[in-house]
Amino acid sequence: MKNHISTDEQDAGELARFGYKQQLQRSLGSFSSFAIAFSLISISTGIFANFRHGFVQVGPGIVWSWLVVMGGQTLVVLVMSRLAVSFPIAGYGYQWSARLVNPHFGFFTGWLLLVQFLTGFPVVCSALASALCAFIWPEGALPMTVAWITTVVILLVALIHLFGMRLAAWLNNTGVYAELFGVIAITIALYALLDWRGVNLSKLAGHGNFSSGQSAGFSAFALSLLMGAWCLTGFEAAADLAEETHDPRRTVPRAMLTSLLGSGLLGFLLLVGIVLSIDDVRATQGQDSPLISVLQERFGPHWLLAALVVVAVSIFACAIASMAAASRLLFSLSRDGMLPGARWLSRIDPHRSTPRNAVILVWLLSTAIVLLLRQTDLISSVSAVAGYLGYAGIILAALLAGPLVVPGRGWTLLRWLALMWALSLVLALTLPPTDIPGWNDKYLPAKAMAFALLAGSAVYFGLIKRRIREGIAGPPQLSDKGSETRP
By mean pLDDT, which of 46-50, 285-289, 463-467, 475-479 is the weakest?
Answer: 475-479
Please check the confidence at residue 202 and state whether its pLDDT lies above 80. Answer: no
By mean pLDDT, which of 37-51, 266-280, 342-356, 423-437 is the weakest?
Answer: 423-437
Return mean pLDDT, the chain: 86
Give the pLDDT of residue 6.
59
**Residue ranges of domains in the chain, CATH in brackets:** 33-470 (1.20.1740.10)
Give mean pLDDT, residues 433-452.
Answer: 76
pLDDT digits (tens, 9 = 90+) for 327-341: 999 999 999 999 999
Give the pLDDT of residue 402.
65
Give the pLDDT of residue 480.
42
Confidence of residue 2 (pLDDT cuts 50, 70, 90): very low
Produce one character per residue of 325-353: b if its CB has 16 or more CB atoms within 10 Å, e if not.
Answer: bbbbbbbbbbbbbbbeebeebbebeeeeb
Please check the confidence at residue 375 and state whether its pLDDT lies above 80. Answer: no
pLDDT digits (tens, 9 = 90+) for 217-264: 777 787 788 888 888 999 999 999 999 999 999 999 999 999 999 999
pTM above 0.85, yes or no: yes
Give the pLDDT of residue 355.
93
Range with the largest mean pLDDT of 46-60, 80-94, 433-447: 80-94
pLDDT digits (tens, 9 = 90+) for 448-487: 889 999 999 999 999 999 999 999 999 986 444 434 444 4
Confidence of residue 405 (pLDDT cuts 50, 70, 90): low
Give mean pLDDT, residues 65-73.
Answer: 95
Confidence of residue 380 (pLDDT cuts 50, 70, 90): confident
Give the pLDDT of residue 223.
78
360 close to 368: Cβ distance less than 8 angstroms: no
